[in-house]
Structure 1
Amino acid sequence: MNGASTTNVSLASSSGLNLAFPRSSMATQTVQQYTLRIVMAKKKSRVDSGIPTRLVLFLMPQDGSTIRLPSLCMAKLPVKPPPPSIPSAHTLQLYVSVVCWSKIQNKEQLTKAFVRAQRLQEAEALGGGEVKICPRCLRREEKRYKRKNLTEFGNRYFRANKDKRLVLLSTRKTKSWSEFHKDVSTADVDSPVSSSHVDFSMRIACCCHHHDEKKGFGVIFTVKDHRDNVIAQGITDPITIINKRRSHVFPRFELDHIR
């Protein structure tokens, strides 16, 4: 994998995002003629903060006008049981898994991680792959959702799936692909021709140091068609997740001592 460039690329979005994304050096897995690139606004984030993220798919499949995100990936819990999901030829399916960056330090390890991610089913998509949410962060997430006004079904849904909700996306479950902005500099990608993108905010609900991971997490995105064929895969650059508060917020004991 190449070293990251410090040059920024400004990306415009129909959803309102207008951010200067750093050029990325993440690895991609080209399946057939399709290539998936993941661009993030930052590579270090607090465990309770989202990361503006863009998926760019090069050479859009003719039948893939929309993409469906994993149910367990939705930050907003459902209020009632969803209707049965019927595969559509016009809708691609996204799967997500997380690995420790220190475990994919060569091409063979990365290839194995991609292969494992290809085997994921929806119910496993946010089981975390190599990484699962730790008990400490799980307790924090429980407290977070207890403060929300959940329906009875939403509460049951959270209790049944809380250990699988490692990566949370703040967006709609089904999104339409947007045409890649033609005025944007694309020197960091292979070709802007026939490419489309989707935007969302991604939150990783567990800290790196809880897994003794010093290099960060890598999030693998796998795109499949309605027949479960892999269209494309990509992995983010290493993401450092911390739980530190801002430095100017003093611990309680220090405030008491000052008084």
Structure 2
Amino acid sequence: MPDPAPQRPIPAATLIIFRDAFGPPELLMVERAKAMAFAGGAMVFPGGRIDPEDHALAALHPTFADAPARIAAIRETIEEAGLAIGLTPRPSPDILADLRRKLHDGVAFGRALDEAGLVLDLARLTPFARWLPAHRHMRIFDTLFFLARAPGGEATVDHTENVRLTWTTARALLDEADASRATIIYPTRRNLERLALFASFDEAVIHAHAHPIRPVTPFMEMRDGVEHLCIPDDLGYPVTAQPMTEVLRG
């Protein structure tokens, strides 16, 4: 019997949040609950699925072809980390807490924004990458990654899909994973290796603008007799292959 075709990709969006530090910038990472079907127990960037409401709100922002993804990234970051990125005016802690509570209760994002007197500023996000795996037997996400500066305020975990959050440099988290003290899946590793190149948020933005946003679809290839999972070598990633025996795909 032939292998089944890959599943239909689920549109998603992720936000890579930079915070200035002494030395390399820190990134906000959340640890997925072990019970989650996708990337359970792994450290990931805040993000999630693009909902129908995100598409409805996108109609108000025709300048951005990727508006649904930008809106989803902003919404998910509020839900998962309690940070207001891409909102004008900057909400007070009480207004932000009320907005987050409404989202958790299922209130539509657009309605919650209107009630809080807030509008979206999608230009605060910079497109960084798009990952679109094509493996079989697993859930597939078509994920747009964006860069943004931390807005200030304290990030707090939602204790639903995620169990903790932390600010860390890209290099430090890679070292933790190599020491088996943290779990990261293949796309997160490749993105952390790329992010470790930058000494500042501005450097990351310049680099992002210099490379096309093209779907990154990993593929298998034999190299020196060893099967590797590879990605294209012209999208800004310093490491483009990893032995399959070392790969965690989610």
TM-score by length of 2: 0.26
Q: Higher strand share goes to which structure?
A: 1
Structure that is richer in helix per residue: 2
Q: What TM-score, normalized to structure 1? A: 0.25
By relative contact order (CA 8 Å, sep 6+), the higher-ranking structure is 1
